[in-house]
Structure 1
Amino acid sequence: MRTIAPTMTRSMQRVAEAVAADPAGCAALTVTGLAEHTRTSEATVVRTARLLGYPGYRDLRLALAGLAAHQESGRPPTVTADIAVDDSLADVVAKLAHDERQTLADTAAGLDPVQLGAAVTALAAARRTDIYGVGASGLVAQDLAQKLLRIGMIAHAHSDPHLAVTNAVQLGARDVAVAITHSGATGDVIEPLRVAFDQGTTTIAITGRPDGSVSQYADHILTTSTARESELRPAAMSSRTSQLLVVDCLFVGVAQRTYERAAPALAASYEALAHRHTPRSPQSHR
């Protein structure tokens, strides 16, 4: 619901908010009752149910009843992610751990396997992959580039917008460009993706807003969970968790598709790092 709420009309958002706030209470309502409770119409309730992935309101109502029963079965109270200034470190750990789990679960649930498969296919066949990201997303871009490099792929992460654009001009139909932007509106990321798109390059967007500007230039869109921001935890921290999950999915998928080449390359990188971290005797330096 958090992920798709921005795409809903205001009346549909009222239905979704009511359902999220009180699943047990809403499960007891008929479609007419929920429409009256949210000051909407029966048609709006049904459209909201369908947008949430259910054939109709009856199916949503059954799911809510099941959720309510699960919540009443003795499960510990839900921990909120809101961190207060006077929280103990133990509470901070518990709240952050809960938020991370929820972020990963939301991302996994909302990730389209068809789009993911198409992105993996493109990356596995790419001559070269350029990845764009700034700020926290730039760290994720570096992570994806490093992973691809370790299995023998040619990959570059760009956080400098000028360098990203000048490199994007060199891409072609055999290449892939990946843009990572939680907001879907980061100009320094969108511009090189647009240039790559215009060059005929296969483009991929990893974003929390699939309706954002970045989608105009993306052949494949991988949606991450909407970040939950608090005063002491910027949205960038939570969004990076979901982006890293998508990156791991891409990496494993590409490694599977290119296993004959990826396995020896990965083994060689492990061996090289192991030798680097092994102390050498003075004789070995002569």
Structure 2
Amino acid sequence: MELLGRIRTERHEMPDALRKVADAILENPAAAARLTIVDLAERSGTSTATITRFCRALGFGGYAELRVAVATEMGRVNQQTWQTDIGQEILPGDTLEKVLGVVSGNDIRLIQETGDQLDLAVVEKVAQAIARAGRVLLFGVSSSAAVASEMEYRLQRIRIPTWSRSDAHSALTDAALLGQGDVAIGISHSGRTREAIEVLAEAGSHGAITVAVTSNPRSPLAEVAELVLTTASRETTFRSDGFAAIHSQLLVLDVVYVSVAQRTYERTKQAFDVTVRAVAGHRLSEGDS
């Protein structure tokens, strides 16, 4: 995950003092990259010791490393002209042209950030597990439930026995019936959805391979999962983190789906041929009006 995206995600879990530093950087990353450690401490209302703790929490040896990382990322951002609308507020009187620019710009950047930080080694392990699985269980609530349902449809289409659930009781029942070689996938932007954590824990206790799809790699959901796929998220007006994360969640799971299809190529091709013929009669030909 790119640095600013990581700071944006992890700030929710930080102590108050560190969160102030995160907010000061996110408010104007380009300016923050030029500040001395004393200046950043003053701007964030903290101390130089707090800045040092913040750097170490992100895995940097010191403030100089953090400044270089922020400056490098801002350099990449500035090379993309469409990025100018990122982070702008959408006001009631704004034109649809501006709304389109802000929303599409954020979504494009979100997908790029997710792709840049995606651990392909983990994707490969998840795809291998799904391709071999006797059963696959997907769980998510709210907007994550829609993502789980879409992945269910895709996997079922290529003959992977898959179920998605958004009700905790049904999901826990299904999770209890999983076993060795089965896969359970919990989807939660925050990684703090209690039901998702319980479902993965239940599935794991019966020997199933557990997978977390979350924007927070240090979340409780990630802690109970065997494999973790991380996503990025960018808020815009009227779209909170959970809604904004849908595109990145779909991207991650789409890469997994395609990887599964590669590993089951002959079976997948046959499944597509059969299903296309099954619905062919419900499609109008080009000459029909």
Same fold (TM over 0.5): yes
Q: Residue 266 of structure 1 corresponds to which residue in structure 2? A: 272
* CA shift for structure 1 position 5: 2.0
The answer (yes or no) to whether the contact 2:8–2:22 under 8 Å persists in 1 is no
The answer (yes or no) to whether the contact 1:3–1:226 under 8 Å persists in 2 is yes
Give CA deviations for 1:35-66 in whole Å, capped at 9, x if unaligned: 45545555544554455465653343334444
Q: Residue 118 of structure 1 corresponds to which residue in structure 2? A: 125
1:60 to 53, 60, 66: 66
Distance 1:75 1:174, change over 3 A: closer
The answer (yes or no) to whether the contact 1:23–1:67 under 8 Å persists in 2 is no
Structure 1 stretch 67-76 or stretch 247-256: which is displaced more? Answer: 67-76
Distance 1:141 1:25, change over 3 A: closer
Distance 1:100 1:150, change over 3 A: same
2:253 to 247, 250, 267: 247
CA–CA separation in structure 1 for the residues paired with 2:148 and 2:124: 19
The answer (yes or no) to whether the contact 1:165–1:195 under 8 Å persists in 2 is yes
Instruction: Report how many aligned residue pairs link the two structures.
Output: 278
1:8 and 2:14 correspond: yes
1:152 to 147, 159, 174: 159
Matches within 5 A, 1:50-199: 51-52=57-58, 56-67=62-73, 75=81, 77-199=84-206
Which amino acid is the alignment partner of residue 20 of structure 1? L
CA–CA separation in structure 2 for the residues paired with 1:235 and 1:25: 25
Which amino acid is the alignment partner of residue 283 of structure 2? H
Instruction: Identify unmatched segments of 5+ residues in structure 1.
Output: 280-286
Query: Percent sequence identity over matched residues?
Result: 34
CA–CA separation in structure 2 for the residues paired with 1:73 and 1:107: 19
Which amino acid is the alignment partner of residue 130 of structure 2? L
CA–CA separation in structure 2 for the residues paired with 1:243 and 1:265: 25
The answer (yes or no) to whether the contact 2:185–2:210 under 8 Å persists in 1 is yes
Q: Residue 284 of structure 1 corresponds to which residue in structure 2? A: none
CA–CA separation in structure 2 for the residues paired with 1:71 and 1:159: 37
* CA shift for structure 1 position 216: 4.4
Secondary structure of 2:184's match? strand
The answer (yes or no) to whether the contact 2:103–2:236 under 8 Å persists in 1 is no
1:224 and 2:231 correspond: yes
Give CA deviations for 1:99-129 in whole Å, capped at 9, x if unaligned: 2123223333443334333222221221110
CA–CA separation in structure 2 for the residues paired with 1:225 and 1:71: 16
Secondary structure of 1:103's match? helix
Structure 1 stretch 128-137 or stretch 209-218: which is displaced more? Answer: 209-218
Give CA deviations for 1:238-286 in whole Å, capped at 9, x if unaligned: 122221112112112212233343333234334434454256xxxxxxx
CA–CA separation in structure 2 for the residues paired with 1:239 and 1:152: 28
1:20 and 2:26 correspond: yes
**Aligned CA-pair RMSD:** 3.1
TM-score, normalised by the number of residues in structure 1:
0.81
CA–CA separation in structure 2 for the residues paired with 1:73 and 1:178: 37
Instruction: Identify unmatched segments of 5+ residues in structure 2.
Output: 1-6
